[in-house]
With several copies, the nearest count.
Chain A
Amino acid sequence: MNKIYLDNAATTPVKKEVVEAMLPYFTENFGNPSSVYQLAQINKKAIDEARETIAKCLGANTNEIFFTSGGTEADNWAIKGIAEVSKGKGNHIITSKIEHHAILHTCEYLEKQGYEITYLDVDSEGMVNPEDVKRAIKDTTILITIMYANNEIGTIMPISEIGKIAKEHNIPFHTDAVQAIGQVKIDVKEQNIDLLSLSGHKFNGPKGIGVLYIKRGLKIGTFIHGGAQERGRRAGTENVPGIVGLGKAIELAYEHFDDKVARLTTLRDELIEGLIRSIPYCKLNGHKTDRLPNNVNIGVEFVEGESLLLLLDMNGIAASSGSACTSGSLDPSHVLLALGLPHEKAHGSVRFTLGEQTTKEQIDFVIEKMPPIVQRMREMSPLYEDFLKTNK
């Protein structure tokens, strides 16, 4: 059976070139970069090069790039690190209701420690209103953290506007750009971003490696204490193969950027239109155009997400219902609820996220397979039965 992977927002396959770039750093150039001897210096150089590539992609300086174990650690570091150094100054953080759990659960943790968190509403397309950000600012606001693009519905936030507001009020601005890297062009200086999280495995790089960009001069506490790695700001022996892999992956992600985005956007819109045309009672979740080029999220009424995923899987299609993290527990997606969807509709959403390996044939295959699967599920759905009876 053809395997069609359409869950690139959950994670992506590592590219061959990336694995090849990493391989020497496992067995040959394995030295500890902190050491004096030559073997170690090779690694130090490799790390520096990766740092430079990443900095260039973000419009940052190399000494503003700090490696972490992934997007989650970067998010934790950004929020807890700012909270820690802001003690005398204030205790108020502004975020949105549709952030990733790495942000939300960290904020909830701080809430228990006495911080005050404003969780901004979003509109029905998942957009944060910059005016809401402005209105939420208080004298005690120490951080604004708004994701660059949402992982479930793909809505791209007005980051430049929010960055401008943050700057005007002299409040550090963090953005979780884990989903945006490689899909949207980012310039941390132009957009007034003070802190930015990214994660290797979302753009065909390795898992277990990420970055926190920290604007030069920004005061932030250390999150992981220990050795003097990362100029004393993030301890722990450097994950050299991971760092090299992340560097290579972002380099490749930025090659032919515009062509890639154009191709994905076309496929995305074909999939959206194909599904909406062929399946009754379904609609697009998220914004139609301010949307990640790889994200399709469809609300399918009267059916439940996990069942839909299992049937898609049986047809060789890997997709997701809300975020991968939540699909284990099947709690309804907090993102979809924040859009105003009722619970049963939140449960009945399916997310297809495209990748570089996605083809037109795969999209057509999904458009062909989905309608009968949905029909079959509706036939055994008591909700559909009720709907038909009341609408007869």
Chain B
Amino acid sequence: MYSEKVMDHFMNPRNVGEIEDASGVGTVGNARCGDIMKVYLKIEDNIIKDAKFKTFGCGAAVATSSMATELVIGKTIEEALKISNKSVAEALDGLPPVKMHCSLLAEESLHAALWDYAKKNNIKIEGLEEPKEDIHEHEEEAGCCNA
């Protein structure tokens, strides 16, 4: 079902944990759908120095969290904003169709953490929108986890 890369990131997830004095923290997903992703970012001089995550979710959710944090470390905020759900999925050699929504979760949690950072520092990040409370809200029709 999962690519080798997904399984690698699931079995050996990178950057699991918390950042004590994080510059921004974002949590998305909900327990109803069985996926919650929490991302911690450490940002200095517009550059993401470190990223950590905690995830309650399926194999794809864990792997995309791991991959997203890996992709984002060392990037500027602007570069980080360009990380889309598709690029995360591609970096993992693809995801099963029913699991594509998980990569959306990774994108959204990054954005939520950046939004938190911007709010705390009272700055505006071009192109970043306020995260939805629950990214699944608009997906009800497609079934909870069958995006």
Verify that A and B bind, or say they do not: yes
Interface residues on A, range: 20 to 34
A22 and B40 alpha carbons, distance in the complex (Å): 51
Which residues of A sit under 8 angstroms from B61, Cβ to Cβ? Answer: 304, 307
The reply to whether B54 and A344 contact each other, CB–CB distance below 8 Å, is no
Which residues of B sit under 8 angstroms from A41, Cβ to Cβ? Answer: 1
Contact with A along B124-144 (1 / 0, CB 8 A): 000000000000000000011
Interface residues on B, range: 20 to 34
The reply to whether A330 and B58 contact each other, CB–CB distance below 8 Å, is yes
The reply to whether B55 and A381 contact each other, CB–CB distance below 8 Å, is yes
The reply to whether B13 and A314 contact each other, CB–CB distance below 8 Å, is no
Which of these, A307, A332, A381, A382, contacts B58 with CB under 8 Å? A307
Closest to B96 in A: A328
A302 and B54 alpha carbons, distance in the complex (Å): 12
Contact with A along B37-62 (1 / 0, CB 8 A): 11000000000000001111111011
Closest to A326 in B: B145
Which residues of A sit under 8 angstroms from B32, Cβ to Cβ? Answer: 332, 343-344
Which of these, B11, B18, B55, B146, contacts A314 with CB under 8 Å? B11
A332 and B145 alpha carbons, distance in the complex (Å): 9
- The answer, yes or no, to whether A368 is at the interface (CB within 8 Å) is no
A303 and B57 alpha carbons, distance in the complex (Å): 8
- The answer, yes or no, to whether A329 is at the interface (CB within 8 Å) is yes
A381-B34 contact, Cβ under 8 Å, with A329-B145, A331-B143, A332-B144: no
Which residues of B sit under 8 angstroms from A330, Cβ to Cβ? Answer: 34, 58, 98, 144-145
- The answer, yes or no, to whether B10 is at the interface (CB within 8 Å) is yes
Which residues of A sit under 8 angstroms from B55, Cβ to Cβ? Answer: 380-382
The reply to whether B31 and A344 contact each other, CB–CB distance below 8 Å, is yes
Could you say which of A306, A332, A379 has the most chain B C-beta atoms within 10 Å of its C-beta?
A306
- The answer, yes or no, to whether A36 is at the interface (CB within 8 Å) is yes
A307-B31 contact, Cβ under 8 Å, with A380-B54, A382-B38, A383-B36: no
- The answer, yes or no, to whether B16 is at the interface (CB within 8 Å) is yes
The reply to whether B145 and A379 contact each other, CB–CB distance below 8 Å, is no
A41 and B6 alpha carbons, distance in the complex (Å): 15
User: Considering the complex, which residues of chain A in the window 293-327 have a beta carbon less than 8 Å from any beta carbon of chain B?
Assistant: 302-307, 310, 314
- The answer, yes or no, to whether A342 is at the interface (CB within 8 Å) is yes
The reply to whether A305 and B143 contact each other, CB–CB distance below 8 Å, is no
A302 and B27 alpha carbons, distance in the complex (Å): 16
The reply to whether B54 and A332 contact each other, CB–CB distance below 8 Å, is no
User: Considering the complex, which residues of chain A in the window 328-386 have a beta carbon less than 8 Å from any beta carbon of chain B?
Assistant: 328-332, 342-344, 347, 379-383, 385
Which of these, A343, A379, A382, contacts B34 with CB under 8 Å? A343
Closest to A41 in B: B1
Closest to B37 in A: A382
CB distance from B28 to the nearest CB of A (A): 10
Closest to B35 in A: A304
A382-B36 contact, Cβ under 8 Å, with A36-B1, A303-B56, A344-B56: yes
Which residues of A sit under 8 angstroms from B145, Cβ to Cβ? Answer: 329-331
Which residues of B sit under 8 angstroms from A385, Cβ to Cβ? Answer: 18, 38, 54
Give B residues with C-beta under 8 Å from A.
Answer: 1, 7, 10-11, 13, 16, 18, 27, 30-38, 53-59, 61-62, 98, 143-146
22 pairs from A and B in contact (CB 8 Å cutoff): A36-B1, A41-B1, A304-B56, A304-B61, A306-B58, A307-B61, A314-B11, A330-B34, A330-B98, A332-B32, A342-B31, A343-B32, A344-B31, A347-B31, A380-B13, A380-B53, A381-B55, A382-B27, A382-B54, A382-B55, A385-B18, A385-B54
Instruction: Contacts A305-B34, A330-B144, A332-B34 known; list 12 others, CB within 8 Å.
Output: A304-B56, A305-B58, A306-B57, A306-B59, A310-B59, A343-B33, A344-B32, A379-B16, A380-B13, A380-B55, A382-B55, A382-B56
Give A residues with C-beta under 8 Å from B.
Answer: 36, 41, 44, 302-307, 310, 314, 328-332, 342-344, 347, 379-383, 385
Closest 4 CB pairs of A and B: A344-B31, A347-B34, A306-B58, A382-B38
